């Protein structure tokens, strides 16, 4: 295998630096993944005991969604809590830096029935800004449940983030993290092209999270969820395919901003590695997730 000068790239920009493009790419990605349904099935199957562990006998249930995006899993979680604890007031705080995501989440809330007992509090902040407030004692609230779904890629320092948000839990409070599995195709893609795509800041999977928890001697339960993303459009090079490539590589305008050699190699990897399956003429790429339920 001869090495091409793959990173004779034009200058690449992280997708996270362009909130508009990120929101567009995220929307395309969300429409191509099976993960919502898979997370929902997991919640239906596993969440009841978990909810009871933090919500039992509470006069008010206080929840924090960190990096909640457009809020689909959040509304599922709420529905389940309400079914188990009908009428108990819920304060639901959302930490989300992307203003477009917040407005979509708010729209979803207004079209969801039976949220009368839920008070939403919106924080347009990054986790780092919130953590700074906690450390400076400007934010002293305690929560019964904090969840971080598909957002640990953006935290920078995993250990201090986990420490900070555990500090924000009540004594019986629970923290749940959902993130790509270290054995998923996307994790392997990021490991392989980490330097070419400047992904080292974001290259975080279940492996790093569990390592941190073990180092800090924190017990947890781990579940792996099979999931994939339909990548047929990536080969076609159409607008949706380009946005999806941006999201999969976390690179803004990936197709125009990397060398032809690197683009060809990544497309080849997406379509012919062991992580690709073909069904009914469509291509799917492995996007396994891990759910880490941290003990109090």
Task: Give tens-digit pLDDT for 169-179.
Answer: 999 999 999 99
Question: Around Cβ 22, how many Cβ atoms within 10 Å?
Answer: 22
Report yes or no on 49 lying in a domain. yes
Q: Which residue has the tokens 């070419």?
A: 196
Report yes or no on 23 lying in a domain. yes
Return d(Cα 40, Cα 268) in angstroms, integer: 32
Ligand-binding annotation for 35, yes or no, is yes
The burial of 280, by beta-carbon neighbours within 10 Å (0-12 exposed, 13-18 middle, 19 or more buried), is given as: exposed
The separation between CA 116 and the C-alpha centre of its own chain, rounded to angstroms, equals 27
Domain residues for the domain of 190 are 15-294
- pLDDT at residue 24 in the model: 95
Does the reported pTM lie above 0.85?
Answer: yes
Report yes or no on 5 lying in a domain. no
pLDDT value at 1 more than 50: no
Sheet (strand 276-279) strand order: 228-230, 282-286, 276-279
Who contacts 224 (Cβ-Cβ below 8 Å, separation ≥6)?
181, 288, 289, 290, 291
- pLDDT at residue 255 in the model: 93
* Count of residues in the chain: 296
CATH code of the domain in which 144 resides: 3.40.50.150
Q: pLDDT tens, 58-79?
A: 999 999 999 999 999 999 999 9
Report yes or no on 102 lying in a domain. yes
Q: pLDDT tens, 210-259?
A: 999 999 999 999 999 999 999 999 988 899 999 999 999 999 999 999 99
Q: Residues 269, 234: contact at Cβ < 8 Å? A: no
Question: Around Cβ 250, how many Cβ atoms within 10 Å?
Answer: 22
Report yes or no on 274 lying in a domain. yes
**Mean of the per-residue pLDDT values for the chain?**
92
Ligand-binding annotation for 287, yes or no, is yes
Domain count, the chain: 1
Return d(Cα 123, Cα 137) in angstroms, integer: 17
Report yes or no on 8 lying in a domain. no
Q: Which residue has the tokens 């999977």?
A: 205
Report yes or no on 9 lying in a domain. no
Q: pLDDT tens, 258-267?
A: 999 999 999 9
């Amino acid at each position: 295998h001869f090495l091409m000068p793959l990173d004779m790239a034009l200058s690449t920009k992280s997708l996270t630096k362009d909130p508009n493009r990120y929101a567009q790419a995220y929307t395309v990605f969300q429409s191509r993944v099976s993960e919502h349904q898979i997370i929902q099935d997991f919640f239906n199957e596993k969440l009841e005991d978990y909810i009871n562990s933090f919500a039992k006998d509470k006069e008010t249930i206080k929840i924090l969604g960190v990096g909640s995006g457009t809020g689909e899993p959040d509304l599922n979680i709420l529905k389940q809590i309400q079914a188990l604890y009908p009428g108990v007031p819920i304060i639901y705080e959302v930490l989300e830096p992307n203003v477009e995501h917040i407005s979509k989440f708010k729209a979803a809330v207004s079209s969801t029935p039976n949220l009368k007992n839920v008070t939403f509090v919106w924080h347009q902040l990054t986790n780092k800004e919130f953590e700074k407030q906690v450390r400076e004692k400007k934010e002293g609230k305690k929560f019964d449940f904090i969840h971080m779904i598909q957002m640990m890629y953006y935290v920078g320092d995993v250990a201090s983030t986990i420490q900070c948000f555990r500090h924000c839990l009540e004594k019986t409070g629970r923290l749940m993290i959902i993130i790509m599995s270290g054995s998923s195709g996307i994790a392997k893609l990021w490991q392989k092209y980490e330097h070419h795509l400047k992904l080292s800041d974001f290259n975080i999977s279940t492996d790093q999270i569990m390592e941190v928890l073990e180092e800090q001697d924190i017990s947890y339960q781990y579940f792996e969820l099979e999931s994939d993303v339909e990548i047929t459009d990536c080969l076609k090079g159409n607008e949706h395919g380009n946005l999806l490539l941006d999201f999969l590589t976390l690179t803004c305008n990936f197709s125009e901003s990397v060398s032809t050699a690197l683009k060809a190699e990544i497309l080849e990897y997406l379509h012919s590695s062991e992580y690709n399956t073909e069904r009914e003429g469509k291509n799917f790429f492995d996007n396994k997730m891990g759910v880490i339920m941290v003990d109090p």
